Amino acid sequence: QVLTFLVREQLSLSTQVGLPQSPEVPLTDLPLPSSAMARVAARLVFLFVAAAWQSSVASDAHCQAGHGYAPNSSTCVQCGAGTWSGEGSTDCTRCVPGTWSTVAGAGSQSTCTKCSVGTWSSQEGSPTPNSCQKCPAGTWGGAEGLGSLEQCMKCSAGTWSSELGAIDESVCSACPAGTWNGVTGSNNRTHCIDCSPGTWSSTLGASAQSSCKACTAGTWSV
């Protein structure tokens, strides 16, 4: 911008003082009047000040870590609990489902803490660990940071569990011999169905009625 201005100013002043207007004549070789030189100097100062101001505005267009723009504003404010912002960002990013943070002004995603094993949360930007809910009876959660109820694993068919917040499959109890259960995620012993009269089963954790065998000829069972 400064170079363009100088060339234009050279041509303008050359016209005013009756000098050649050829751009091939170096600006420093032109015998300009002192008033003209003062005019050029004043405009150069203005251009440098304007350039410095634009640079300052550009540098303020981003926020420091842990801050982001307020809604409908270009003013940087501290990010609230449950959110974070890296250096130079203008947005406070919410902690992802399955995590939470009580830290205000967090400058890194590492402040978002995962829900503990056996729990889950679908809430974005949670500011409290209370958003982490226990996996329901009949299920278990074997990893931290589960982001939905569907990520709690169901007890397999032929088993059941009444425990909340279970952390592994060992909590699922097998249906006793003489019963079966074809449903996953059962939360009560009553879901284990007795073999029908005239049949029997010695199988623990049976998942189908076919596990019940008919009594042999000449015998019976109620």
Rounded to whole angstroms, the Cα distance separating 222 from 213 reads 13
Spatial contact of 133 and 162, defined as CB atoms under 8 Å apart: no
Least confident of 10-19, 37-46, 65-74: 10-19
Residue 205 pLDDT greater than 80, yes or no: yes
Rounded to whole angstroms, the Cα distance separating 137 from 186 reads 8
Rounded to whole angstroms, the Cα distance separating 195 from 205 reads 13
Residue 149 pLDDT greater than 80, yes or no: yes
Residue 210 pLDDT greater than 60, yes or no: yes
Look at residues 149, 79, 138 and name the one whose alpha carbon lies nearest to residue 108. Answer: 79
Least confident of 65-69, 103-107, 214-218: 214-218
User: Any idea what the Cα angle at residue 170 is, between residues 168 and 174, rounded to 5°?
Assistant: 135
Rounded to whole angstroms, the Cα distance separating 92 from 111 reads 13
- The model's confidence at residue 43, banded by pLDDT at 50, 70 and 90, is low
Report the pLDDT value the prediction gives residue 11, as an integer from 0 to 100. 53
- The model's confidence at residue 57, banded by pLDDT at 50, 70 and 90, is very low
57 Cβ contact partners less than 8 Å away, ≥ 6 residues apart: none
Residue 154 pLDDT greater than 80, yes or no: yes
Taking 3-state DSSP, the helix, strand and coil percentages for the chain, each rounded to the nearest 5, stand at 30, 15, 55
| CA torsion, ordered 190, 208, 155, 179, to nearest 10 deg | 30
Q: What are phi and psi of 16, to 5 degrees?
A: -70, -35
Rounded to whole angstroms, the Cα distance separating 185 from 212 reads 22
- The model's confidence at residue 142, banded by pLDDT at 50, 70 and 90, is very high
Report the pLDDT value the prediction gives residue 106, as an integer from 0 to 100. 97
Rounded to whole angstroms, the Cα distance separating 175 from 161 reads 10
- Number of helical H runs and strand E runs in the chain: 2, 16
Residue 70 in tokens: 């307020």
Residue 151 pLDDT greater than 80, yes or no: yes
Render pLDDT for 95-119 as a digit per residue (tens, 0 to 9): 999 999 999 999 999 999 999 999 9
Side chain identity at residue 205, one-letter code: G
